[in-house]
């Protein structure tokens, strides 16, 4: 009579293989869930930046006394820069909205005093186009935080403001 206590080697190997397969599938699911969470968080973050930036720009430009676009020279041809410069009746000095790398900034200057506020990060593009002497079109695009496999970034938030700007000229 043989006294059997414990598991055989074959039973342990089969149990280990089954547990490994289960763990691999659970880890894959957790990793996939993390990627989806990160993508969703990036979209929410960019949407919030978009909302804040467009509302700040809209409020500032509705109070503007003057609005202009600085010119830059490409070769010998002067063209409007993507920046927007304006003065409001609320604050002395001038404000400039532009992109510094991928950060949308609002810079205020009055003589020797100045201040810079970051309006948004991961900005893919900021363009300001004068449609007429009184109408502006401003287009903002925000990209995701994480590069795709090919190294590119997806645009995940985009908005175009077109409005009558009092005092534009």
**Does residue 169 lie within any of the structural domains?**
no
| Residue 138 covered by a domain | yes
Residue 2 belongs to a domain: no
Where in the sequence is the domain holding 18, given as residue range(s)?
Answer: 9-164
What local confidence, expressed as pLDDT, does residue 169 receive?
44
How does pLDDT run across 22-57, given as a tens digit for each residue?
Answer: 999 999 999 999 988 888 887 888 788 788 888 888
Q: What is the pLDDT of residues 52-93, one digit of tens each?
A: 888 888 888 888 888 877 777 777 777 777 788 888 878 888
Query: Is residue 143, in this structure, part of any structural domain at all?
Result: yes
- Contact between 118 and 105 under an 8 Å Cβ cutoff? The reply is yes
Residue 160 host element (H or E): strand 155-164
Alpha-carbon distance of 137 to 53, in angstroms, equals 15
* Distance of alpha carbon 39 from alpha carbon 43, whole angstroms: 6
Categorize the per-residue pLDDT at 11 as very low, low, confident or very high, splitting at 50, 70 and 90.
very high
In a domain, 41, yes or no: yes
Q: Looking at residue 165, what is its pLDDT?
A: 59
What's the domain count of the chain? 1
Q: Is the pLDDT of residue 13 over 60?
A: yes
CA–CA distances in Å: residue 80 to residues 15, 45, 71, 135, 151: 70, 30, 4, 15, 30
């Amino acid at each position: 009579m043989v006294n059997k206590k414990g598991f055989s080697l074959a039973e342990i190997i089969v149990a280990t293989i089954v547990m490994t397969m289960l763990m691999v599938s659970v880890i894959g699911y957790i990793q996939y869930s993390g990627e989806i969470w990160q993508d969703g968080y990036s979209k929410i973050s960019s949407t919030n930046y978009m909302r804040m930036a467009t509302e700040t720009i809209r409020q500032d430009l509705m109070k503007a006394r003057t609005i202009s676009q600085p010119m830059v020279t490409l070769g010998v041809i002067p063209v409007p820069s993507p920046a927007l410069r304006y003065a409001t009746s609320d604050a002395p000095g001038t404000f400039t909205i532009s992109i510094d790398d991928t950060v949308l900034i609002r810079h205020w200057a009055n003589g020797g005093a100045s201040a810079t506020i970051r309006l948004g990060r991961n900005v893919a593009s900021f363009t300001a186009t004068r449609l007429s002497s009184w109408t502006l079109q401003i287009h903002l695009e925000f990209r995701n935080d994480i590069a795709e496999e090919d190294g590119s970034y997806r645009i995940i938030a985009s908005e175009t403001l077109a409005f009558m700007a009092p005092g534009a000229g």
